[in-house]
Amino acid sequence: MGFGQLVIGPPGSGKTTYCNGIQHFFQLTGRPCAVINLDPANHDPPYECAVSVEELITLEEAQREFNLGPNGAMVYCIEYVSKNLDWLKERVTPLVAEGKYVLFDLPGQVELFNMHDALREVVAAITGPEWNLRLCTVHLIDSHLCADPAKYIAALMLSLSCMLHLETPHVNVLSKVDLMDKYGELDFNLEYYADVMNLEYLADRILDGNQDAIGTAPSPGQTMMRKKYGKLTRGLCELVEDFGLVNFTTLSIEDKASVERVVQLTDKSIGYFNAGGFSA
């Protein structure tokens, strides 16, 4: 039985930095680890890459061969991977046999999870019985979205959607919390955003707020839109709370205690026990 993580999140949320940091953390704590890059747009990642999708197909090849744009080429590449799962299995199986903990660095385009089946098919195969892998999905959300209530609610909806679509154990993470001071003062403390409770207060802030996320007064058009979609905003908040699935842990990748907390949560979710503990 092998163990590992599926690392997902919107572009810029810190997936590659996370994989690099976790790999370094595992090296210090004595846990053998292999990172598999399944993001065709992630060229020359900083981490040591055991397997890369670019060995199978590159984004540039898809663009050139089929005259596609970047997003279309990304979709094609993931579809190509879904049709060549034997290629991936042949490379991952030996890593698992060696006892390595595997990290899958996945693309960040939201539409791959919500509008296309290919990536979900890849995830379903990897987590299926033939691969003998227990994987936890780590969903990274940039913590700066907490500074904008509307963007934060959108992030909640994205997190909920991914949890329902992928059907794997999930750990949702607010990343880059060490940079929060750069984005101004939050309406509520960070624990409020991590716990995802009492979202009606956030809806009130959106509908009644006199300032936008950067502290300037809203335009008449913005005020009208807030009123027009007020019922929708409250409905989305109620939907997230009714499911009761989404909450977050926080992460500063440079902070050992923060990284250790995330690792402990992922280990617990898949039943991984590391006899060596976390001591370096």
Domains of the chain: 2-195+245-270 (3.40.50.300), 197-243 (no CATH)
CA 128 vs CA 50, 124, 138, 268, 279: distances in Å: 21, 6, 18, 19, 32
What 3-state class would DSSP assign to 83?
helix
Q: What residues does 103 pair with on adjacent strands? A: 5, 35
CA 205 vs CA 137, 142, 202, 221, 235: distances in Å: 31, 20, 5, 17, 15
The dihedrals phi and psi of 97, each to the nearest 5 degrees, come to: -60, -30
Q: What residues does 5 pair with on adjacent strands? A: 103, 136
Q: What is the pLDDT along the chain (280 residues), one digit of tens a residue?
A: 899 999 999 999 999 999 999 999 999 999 999 999 999 999 899 999 999 999 999 999 999 999 999 999 999 999 999 999 999 999 999 999 999 999 999 998 888 887 888 999 999 999 999 999 999 999 999 999 999 998 999 999 999 999 999 999 999 999 999 998 888 789 899 999 999 989 999 988 887 765 454 455 556 666 666 677 788 999 999 999 999 999 999 999 999 999 999 999 999 999 998 755 554 4
Distance, in Å, from the CA atom of 279 to the CA atom of 190, rounded to the nearest integer, reads 28
Length of the chain: 280
